[in-house]
Structure 1
């Protein structure tokens, strides 16, 4: 717990003077003011995070937290539990969605077993297993409070190590069958929203299974009564090890002044927990896309951020992060290579035109 407390204390506000300096440059680029919209906001915030007007060498990594969820026994997923193990292995084979898209933008992957109900003989999977999956939240707490803290601290430590290796742009991914159920429960617990509003069909449930999933989330909230004012209590009672680990990643990124990208619904739940633990973390987060899960838009409202894209994606894995990486890099390309009005002779020519008009 001490490591978590110290990490939260180390998080500092953005460099406001660098944000102002960035906006001065942005508004002097050869374009109408504000015409590059969100790219301009990203560039200014990147300057505030890093203290650099231009961040031209971005070394990218997507952290994928993998864990099983006991609530799967309630029939809330169309996929069998063993898919967690299979896909975790497949991340190391380069054949999943996130692998393909990460390769497209030269991003590396860090695959972490934080709670898969299986043992791996694979050196590409980092073993940080806290337990072999959580308990069924429909019957009681997912885990003990100390185990939720331990999972958060795993995420912080993973990010600390990645920063030491030179990574300065991070993404968040996950694998865990039934984790849209736990994420919906976390959102409901941290807000005043009802399960009927935020629960989605996940990996292709029928209408009957969907209605059952809503009832399971309601039961989990009734049975566990998570404390809305304590995100760790929420994670311990109705969350998952993957969400808790990713929560730690957001804390670690802010602690190290490194920008970090949300993928979709599950990593949004982790981001929301992190922001509730320390509101300054919000300034270090960039949401990639609006997940097709119905609760995703409410997750964004609770965090107070807007996603860059809406591609109707709901794969998870961190698959949205590479698209955000590309956009963030585009903002830095703009800052580095786009000319100013002076560079383009626009100001001088404009003044000459004005003088000539007055002379006439």
Structure 2
């Protein structure tokens, strides 16, 4: 479905040698060096080319969930629409961070309760909210495929405008329940380990979330080897389009800065559909949501930040952009030992240097 090519690692040794020959001890820039190497593997045709981040774009996907009416959140579904209006008015955290850091922000209606006739809302509706997945499938497989196609075209439009770094956020009351259900279905982990507090629910609502998700998985018996079927059974319209957008970015050879719990669930779906996707994912942060640490472990991912956040909206991904820019800039601008006329006294093998330091 998505022919995602694995990274061409032919230049990896040369890129790493360029990084190692900057005026610093081996490995002294830590994860910034890993970032520069990964961006080089994705972008560079020859090692002397510069790295670049062009028109970084944040797409926030919104959708409503039938499960929300079962009392799995402290907020009613109407808050989804209210927050979408807050996004386009510029008043949410993600707006603040995008303005500060230079992201282009776009908001996508994947299926909130009622359509919004607003010029700043991109309409890619799959319905007026999903069905309650503890009673019936959340959607049909055809809706999943339609969501993938819409997301692919949206991503292609951003890339045609010169974007070469994408990040995705989400909004949808009830979507931590859908994400936890997807996670449990795909990983086989106990539901109680996948469910988190979401908007800050109390113990009674938490227990209800666990019970309803367990009922849903028993009802649908989704096949963990069929991510499309899992999304149809217990997913959300915004999670479907997140998955499709991640697939499309990787297909185009563009890195994705992955946000928190819900976006990482979509990333897991995408990797299960096309394993090569994993090479294009950079994980921004570890959310406070209980299941996120286990998700990151399942994807063998080391996040850049750990700030105790659990907001969603793409907020953690937005905050990680300066780290990618720092990786790009040191790779492009930092002098080598030869260029600076500095003696390179670090002659120990790279692994030994890491152990020592």
TM-score range, shorter chain: over 0.9
Larger radius of gyration: 1
User: Residues 208 and 47 of structure 1: is their aligned pair in 2 closer, same or farther, counting only changes over 3 Å?
Assistant: same
SS of 1:227's partner is coil
Match of 2:116 among 107, 114, 120: 120
Query: Residue 339 of structure 1: CA displacement?
Result: 1.0
* Greater displacement, 14-23 / 73-82: 14-23
Cα separation, 1, equivalents of 2:312 and 2:346 = 50
Cα separation, 2, equivalents of 1:60 and 1:37 = 23
Cα separation, 2, equivalents of 1:321 and 1:349 = 37
TM-score (norm 2): 0.94
Aligned residues: 344
SS of 1:346's partner is coil
Match of 2:165 among 165, 169, 180: 169
Cα separation, 2, equivalents of 1:116 and 1:289 = 27
Query: Residue 346 of structure 1: CA displacement?
Result: 2.0
In the alignment, structure 1 residue 37 sits paired with structure 2 residue 30: yes
User: Residues 236 and 347 of structure 1: is their aligned pair in 2 closer, same or farther, counting only changes over 3 Å?
Assistant: same
- Paired residues of 2:255 and 2:280 also in contact (CA < 8 A): yes
- Deviations, residues 304-343 of structure 1 (Å, cap 9, x unaligned): 2111110000000011112221111110011011111112
SS of 1:126's partner is strand
- Which residue in 2 is equivalent to 1:49? 42
In the alignment, structure 1 residue 303 sits paired with structure 2 residue 299: yes
Cα separation, 2, equivalents of 1:350 and 1:178 = 53
- Deviations, residues 91-116 of structure 1 (Å, cap 9, x unaligned): 11111011100111111112111111
Cα separation, 2, equivalents of 1:266 and 1:172 = 10
- Which residue in 2 is equivalent to 1:77? 73
In the alignment, structure 1 residue 237 sits paired with structure 2 residue 233: yes
- Which residue in 2 is equivalent to 1:355? none
- Paired residues of 1:15 and 1:47 also in contact (CA < 8 A): no
Cα separation, 2, equivalents of 1:165 and 1:344 = 38
Query: Residue 22 of structure 1: CA displacement?
Result: 1.3
Query: Residue 180 of structure 1: CA displacement?
Result: 0.3
In the alignment, structure 1 residue 28 sits paired with structure 2 residue 12: no
SS of 2:61's partner is strand
Query: Residue 57 of structure 1: CA displacement?
Result: 4.2
- Which residue in 1 is equivalent to 2:193? 197
Cα separation, 2, equivalents of 1:167 and 1:349 = 40
Q: What runs of 5+ residues in structure 1 fail to find an aligned partner? A: 352-360
